């Protein structure tokens, strides 16, 4: 039976996150997984589970979510994206599809993920709060200096225990993760962009990293403080958990496509026989 691998984009404002959620009365919350599940059923006319790589929270966006499903029906792969998107609500799209290996697992096979957090950081009248993109950027009334933010971000690169940069009830026994890159750039006079690439992330970890870097931009947290957070796991020493609207899942790497500049071509254990998959453009 063919297995299809999907690249999914969504504007997460009106969704209760990716994962399907059922209320006690049996009704469902509006989630991306549920919407995609219904679209797949309407397309292939059979019940088949749809698995997603990253369980994004309510309000979080994605352009590079990866999902997969297996069906007994053979579908022209060139038509899968259009067939599914035509059956999806307007705030979610399947942007690419291809046939995958029978044992492809979007979760277990992922080697690294990239998240981006955008912050608007200026006061009127120099810059007004975001209007047309207000659902995809977080606004702070404070002026931020991106150079100290970048210095603090660099301290997070490498393998660390990120207990102090995750919500208390993260649900993981192991809180050690590897951050491959953490960058801060001023992309406009009133915009700061944070990008974090890692092997995996704890609950709210990227939003807490963004909140910590925001405090660094205000001069309230420095490199020594972040070193202490990593050494002690003390969540109270880190910054706030920023809201979800500034966060976007950019891409997920499976070892079958080139990584962005500065990364090795392949992670150990990558599956060289997998087909190439489209990387979202910046």
Of 281, 187, 175, which is closest to residue 235 (Cα–Cα)?
175
Among 25, 57, 103, 279, which one carries the catalytic annotation? Answer: 57
Give CA torsion, residues 217, 165, 118, 240, to 10 deg.
-70
Tally the C-alpha atoms within 13 A of residue 215's C-alpha that lie toward its C-beta: 18
CA distances from 123 to 126, 136, 141, 183 (A): 6, 18, 6, 24
What is the C-alpha separation between 136 and 132, in angstroms, rounded?
A: 9
Burial 4-36 (b: 16+ CB within 10 A, else e): bbbbbbbbbeebbbbebeeeeeeeeeebbbbbb
The vertex-64 CA angle with 58 and 70, nearest 5°, equals 95
57 annotated active-site: yes
* Cross-strand pairs, 178: 159
The two structure tokens encoding residue 266: 């392949």
Residue 168 falls in which region: left (phi positive, over 0), alpha (psi -120 to 50) or beta: alpha
With the C-alpha atoms ordered 192, 193, 199, 200, is the resulting torsion angle positive or negative? positive
- Give catalytic residues, as residue numbers: 57
């Amino acid at each position: 039976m063919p297995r299809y691998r999907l690249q999914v984009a969504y504007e997460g404002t009106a969704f209760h996150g990716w994962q399907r959620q059922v209320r006690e009365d049996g009704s469902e919350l509006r989630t991306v997984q549920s919407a995609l599940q219904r679209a797949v059923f309407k397309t292939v006319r059979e019940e088949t589970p749809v698995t997603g790589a990253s369980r994004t929270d309510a309000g979080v966006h994605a352009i590079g979510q990866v999902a997969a499903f297996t069906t007994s029906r053979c579908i022209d792969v060139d038509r899968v994206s259009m067939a599914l998107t035509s059956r999806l609500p307007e705030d979610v799209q399947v942007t690419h599809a291809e046939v995958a290996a029978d044992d492809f697992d979007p979760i277990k096979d992922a080697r690294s993920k990239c998240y981006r957090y955008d912050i608007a950081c200026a006061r009127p009248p120099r810059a007004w709060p975001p209007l047309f993109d207000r659902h995809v950027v977080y606004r702070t009334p404070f002026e931020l200096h991106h150079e100290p933010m970048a210095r603090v971000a660099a301290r997070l690169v490498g393998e660390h225990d990120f207990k102090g940069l995750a919500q208390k009830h993260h649900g993981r026994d192991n809180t050690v993760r590897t951050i491959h890159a953490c960058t801060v750039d001023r992309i406009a006079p009133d915009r700061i962009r944070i990008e974090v690439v890692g092997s995996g992330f704890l609950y709210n970890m990227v939003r807490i990293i963004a909140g910590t870097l925001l405090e660094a931009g205000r001069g309230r947290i420095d490199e020594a403080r972040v070193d202490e957070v990593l050494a002690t796991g003390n969540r109270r020493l880190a910054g706030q958990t920023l809201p979800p609207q500034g966060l976007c899942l950019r891409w997920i790497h499976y070892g079958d496509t080139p990584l962005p500049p500065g990364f090795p071509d392949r992670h150990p254990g990558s599956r060289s026989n997998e087909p190439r998959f489209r990387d979202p453009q910046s």
